[in-house]
Amino acid sequence: MNEAAWSWAHAAAVLPELLVGLRITILATVVGMVIASVLGLVVAVVRRSSLRVVTMPIGFLVEFIRSTPLLVQLVFANLLFTQFPSLAIGCVVLGIHYATYMSEVYRAGIDAVPKGQWEAAIALDLPRSRTWGAVVLPQAIRNTLPGLGNYAISMFKETPYLFAIAVVEMYTAAQQYGAGTFRYIEAITMAGLLFLLLSYPTSLLVRRLENRLA
Amino acid sequence: MPENDTTPAIQFQGVIKQFGHNTVLDGLDFSVAQGDRVTLIGPSGSGKTTILRLLMTLEEADGGLVFVDGEPYTHEMRGGKRVPIPEKRRSLVRRRVGMVFQQFNLFPNMTVLENIIEAPIHVLGKPKAEAIADAEALLDQVGLAEKRDERPTRLSGGQQQRVAIARALAMEPDILLLDEVTSALDPELVADVLGVLRNIAETTDITMLIVTHEMQFAREVSNRVLMFDGGKIIEEADPETIFTSPTHERTQEFLRAIL
Amino acid sequence: MSDNLQQFVELLPQLGEGILVTLELTLGGAVLALLIAFTLGFGSRARTKWARVPSRVVVEFFRGTSLVVQIFWLYYVLPLPPFYVELDPLACGILALGLNYGAYASEVVRGSINSVAKGQWEAAIALDLSAVHRMRRVIMPQAWPLMIPMFTNLLIQLVKGSALAAYISLHDLNFFTEELRERTSDTVFSYTVGLIFYFVVAYLLTLAMNALEVRAKNRLGAGPSLREVLRLAPVQTTADVGAGTAVLTAPKGGDRA
């Protein structure tokens, strides 16, 4: 009977397709995290301004993006910006969505820099740009590395949402294989295991980093 | 309750305690008689607090035996082997020992009264009305009757510590352990707490084991002072003798530094 | 614009259905997640490795595989051999959301219990309180307010994750958004409306969780009561042990699961 519960042959056959999808997954994660890290830092710095006409709209926008589904945002952007390739849209939306998380990580990291550092910089009459660039940010960024690592892993596990905008990352590859061969069990299970195989050791590394920096 | 009046309240036999590579107690032998008021002095790391923590089962000895009222506490010898005693039996011994902590450790989610009656009701099985009456009497004794329905967070450090003392006494222990109970208090609050402890020492015959820096208090309340260093008792005497004419060099050094 | 609004009004029943389904997924998923969180949270703290190791394995498994994979696995794979289990799509969604976020929440439970000051454990031991009694009356009441902010984060993520339901044939808010777009042919309008409704749901849930946090902290004597906060009445000051002032806070950000 063709209805064997699990076929190792299919498990092996789907693997190369998954690995092709994995390349897109990793690409999306890397580009997305670069965007999120840079944009998040900008947002964090801007939100420290004392101008409420600036901080309030940005604050609201950050909250809005953070609290609404990434999935819906992806579909929205993809429907709207038809002139751009879906992968690019996916990366940008991931980046913006995660920038809202990263801005919070940076905020906490900056706040964790002891007040005495600021005061010493003022006492030495350092210009603001030097204070930020040479004193505060290097210390703040060190604080943010574990958060950055954890969100990178989180984004990696959310790239499957790109299935909704027809980007063939690893999960979509599995689904396509399943749709073509009706062997969903091997396809989706293998995809899940690959996610686990990649994210778990990485999360252990991030935990170790966290302990070392603590 | 101990069998007769000569059974030691506390007995350590060859007790060994290590933390990692650090041997804090190395085959310690000593005993405390019923009704004794013993102060343990010595530099930090000398093992004094460890002794208290072993008596409260907050730590477990790596070797040797501890007896309370003549009964083995956490381990016993059976057929020549040192075997652990099951929790149920330890529990019965543990409730004869009470402890007051440096950081008070009152339960913030309960009122003062609830803190005091919790264990008597659920561990000793005291009826609630009786537990409340006894708790109110204890609060009276420590001078905080009017605070019975307050949350611990609303009290000063000294007040919290006095409640902690009442909470420990509510279990009617035979032995009271006091671990630097005034070290975390602002100086002006120390006197009230010491006053309560002095009162307890005078009006009851509870056995007390005290770790403290308050030498004046130790002199007034204790009948024995043990000087610890490197996990060993290097000198022992009554307070007058040890504070005025210590014989061991280390004791002299230590007392000179703190007095 | 008025055309759009008219279409929107015509679709109000569908909006109602969409919100209802999203709420069912959210609340069902949240309750399941809470149960799983405490089970696995306590399991990971157990003395015996026969409880500890399986708990940790389950936690890492559901954290490490993606929610998308999990929900589609339940939807596509479970009906197949060797399982032959055909779950109702709503059950699928609730199960996936509950397992995934329950695993993350179990870490919150474990971490919060570990955060309770050591002195509290020691005082409970000194009073000879049994382990169960100690957990119930001393530790958990103090761990609980620590869990709430992180639970709030996870709850919002759960709401966001529920949007996947549209792809397993559920008529949730995400599905409604697409319906609206098909009716109005106006992407910006429809999706903005959809996102706004998601935002409102998330915001209301956050307010509810914040109120819960205020109440929990108040029970510890570590903050004002809900009434005091809402009326902005003068707050009584707190002394040293366990002090922390609780005020209605904005949604807490950037916390890694």
Residues of chain B found within 8 Å of residue C128, distances taken between Cβ atoms: 91, 94-95, 119, 123, 171
Q: Residue A133: which pLDDT band, with cuts at 50, 70 and 90?
A: confident
In tens, the pLDDT along B149-180 reads 999 999 999 999 999 999 999 999 999 999 99
Answer whether residue C250 shows pLDDT above 70: no
CB B25 within 8 Å of CB B14: no
CA gap C50, C47 in Å, rounded: 9
Parse chain A into domains and list their residue ranges: 8-213
Q: Does C210 touch chain B (CB under 8 A)?
A: no
Residue B227 lies in a domain: no
Cα distance from A124 to chain C (closest Cα, Å)?
Answer: 33
Residue B162 lies in a domain: yes
* Closest by Cβ to A68, choosing from C69, C164, C195: C195
- The chain-wide mean pLDDT, for chain B, equals 92
The secondary structure of B164-185 as a DSSP string is HHHHHHTT--SEEEEESTTTTS
Vertex B23 angle, CA B19 and B25, to 5°: 105
pTM value is 0.85
Note the ipTM here. Answer: 0.89
In tens, the pLDDT along B172-223 reads 999 999 999 999 999 999 999 999 999 999 999 999 999 998 888 999 999 9
Residues in chain B whose Cβ is within 8 Å of chain C = 56-58, 91, 94-95, 97-99, 101, 103-110, 118-119, 122-123, 151-157, 160, 164, 167-168, 171
Residue B157 lies in a domain: yes
* Closest by Cβ to C253, choosing from A69, A104, A191: A104
CB A129 within 8 Å of CB A147: no
Residue B21 lies in a domain: no
| Domain that residue B146 falls in | 107-166
In tens, the pLDDT along C38-55 reads 999 999 999 899 999 999
- Sorted by where each starts, the structural domains of chain C and their CATH numbers stand as 2-231 (1.10.3720.10)
In tens, the pLDDT along A185-197 reads 999 999 999 999 9
CA gap A104, A126 in Å, rounded: 27
* Contact check, Cβ <8 Å, C68/A161: yes
Please name the residue ranges forming H helices in chain A.
Answer: 8-47, 52-67, 70-80, 86-111, 115-123, 128-130, 137-158, 170-181, 184-213
CATH architecture of A8-213: Orthogonal Bundle (1.10)
Instruction: State the average pLDDT over residues C57-73.
Output: 95
CA gap B98, B120 in Å, rounded: 12
CB B8 within 8 Å of CB B34: yes
Q: Which of C144, C121, C143 is nearest to C133 (CA)?
A: C121
Chain A, 34 to 73: residues with Cβ < 8 Å from chain C are 63-64, 66-73
User: How many domains does one find in chain B?
Assistant: 1
In tens, the pLDDT along B224-244 reads 999 998 888 998 999 988 888
Radius of gyration (Cα) for chain B, nearest Å? 18
Q: Which of B36, B78, B32 is nearest to B51 (CA)?
A: B32
Residue B124 lies in a domain: yes
In tens, the pLDDT along C164-215 reads 999 999 999 999 999 999 999 999 999 999 999 999 999 999 999 999 999 9
Indicate the length of chain A as a whole number.
214
* Closest by Cβ to C119, choosing from B94, B98, B105: B105
Q: What's the gap between Cα A140 and its chain centre?
A: 19
Chains A and C touch (3+ CB pairs under 8 A): yes
* Contact check, Cβ <8 Å, C254/A105: yes
Vertex B142 angle, CA B137 and B148, to 5°: 60
